Amino acid sequence: MTDLSNPWPSWGEQGELPSNGFFYEGGDQVNEKTLDSLWNTQQESYDTLINGITNRVEDLQGDIRLDNGLVVTQTETLKTTISASASGAYVNGQKTGPSDETVLTHSSNSGTTPRTDSIWVDVNGQVNKTENTATVADNRFKIAEVTVDTSSTITTVTNVGPKKLRLFASRDEPETTGSGDVWFDTDADRLKTKESGAFHTLVTDEDAITITAGTGLSGGGNVSVLNGNTNLSLTNDSVTITAGDNLTGGGEVSLGGTTTLNVTGSNLDADSVDGYEGDYLLSHVEVRTSAPTDPDSGQVWIIE
């Protein structure tokens, strides 16, 4: 990879430019100091250009991953794996180029509190870590923080390196995309984002759902998905309770109100209880130590 920030060999002398209006004629011997000065002037102009481009890249991108690579995962108790990246990253304005998969081994934690290690990529595309610190040098781009607890086990891996997202606008779904990329579907006039291998439509405050009131309910209608609300109400403000056989009472009751249902007949002397005369039931109640083997129909007994 070419290092745009330092492409020039070391050049010893600064040289000396000729005076204004000076020119060489055919056959003149070129002054070596003039050549030195021309070389160094060219280098200074180049450096100025590269610094301007670098600063502009930093303004536009900052430190950023250029694809879905450079993601850190825990693979063993004290090991992390950083995925390969075909495009690399911008680090301090410098494009690193591709990066192979890297495996890092973290040291044991002999302290009394959890330790934070920083995983980074530098301007040359090298991936490495610095233990026991959450900060990295200016020429490095932190892509993850790793917590190693006092049992010398990695407990958390937090990827912090932002990824460059791409924005598309077209009728057809773009072919080469990554997670988080945004596509404005010009045919459907909808904004979509890629997640879990597919584009999903984003909800806006213009989107609504329809709530339909069922039987016995009123209200509903179209409601904004993001900030709408609606109420469903009961159509009637009362219910009717009808007394069945051997019951009295009931009637229309307002919602939240109460009513009473009464059983006709207050004791076993009533004309009929489930088809048996009250005195018959009383005469067939007996106290036993166990259930009868062949009880009579309607017989009642109490087991001691």
Confidence check: pLDDT of 161 > 50: yes
Contact 164, 66 (CB under 8 A): yes
Return the closest-CA partner of residue 64 out of 134, 204, 164, 187.
Answer: 164
Confidence check: pLDDT of 140 > 90: yes
Instruction: Indicate the pLDDT class of residue 1, thresholds 50, 70 and 90.
Output: very low
Cα 192 to Cα 163, 171, 286, 289, distances in angstroms:
18, 12, 80, 78
Cα 211 to Cα 215, 226, 229, distances in angstroms:
13, 15, 10
Q: What is the CATH number of domain 65-159?
A: 2.60.40
Q: Which two tokens stand for residue 226?
A: 């993001």
What is the predicted pLDDT for the residue at 127? 96
Q: Which two tokens stand for residue 236?
A: 């009637």
Confidence check: pLDDT of 109 > 90: yes
Residue 256 and residue 239: Cα distance in Å, rounded?
10
Confidence check: pLDDT of 105 > 50: yes
Rg over CA atoms, the chain: 43
pTM over 0.75: no
Q: In what order do the strands lie in the sheet with 182-185?
A: 167-170, 182-185, 190-195, 198-201
- Which range, of 75-84, 164-173, 260-269, averages the lowest pLDDT? 260-269
Which span out of 3-17, 38-52, 274-288 was modeled with the highest average pLDDT? 38-52
Cα 191 to Cα 65, 222, 226, 301, distances in angstroms:
23, 22, 16, 77
Confidence check: pLDDT of 134 > 90: yes
Domain boundaries, the chain: 1-18+28-60, 65-159, 167-201, 267-304
Cα 304 to Cα 111, 158, 286, 299, distances in angstroms:
72, 71, 10, 16
Instruction: Indicate the pLDDT class of residue 129, thresholds 50, 70 and 90.
Output: very high
- Which range, of 117-126, 271-280, 291-300, averages the lowest pLDDT? 271-280
Segments of 94-148 assigned E as strands: 94-95, 102-105, 115-122, 127-130, 140-148
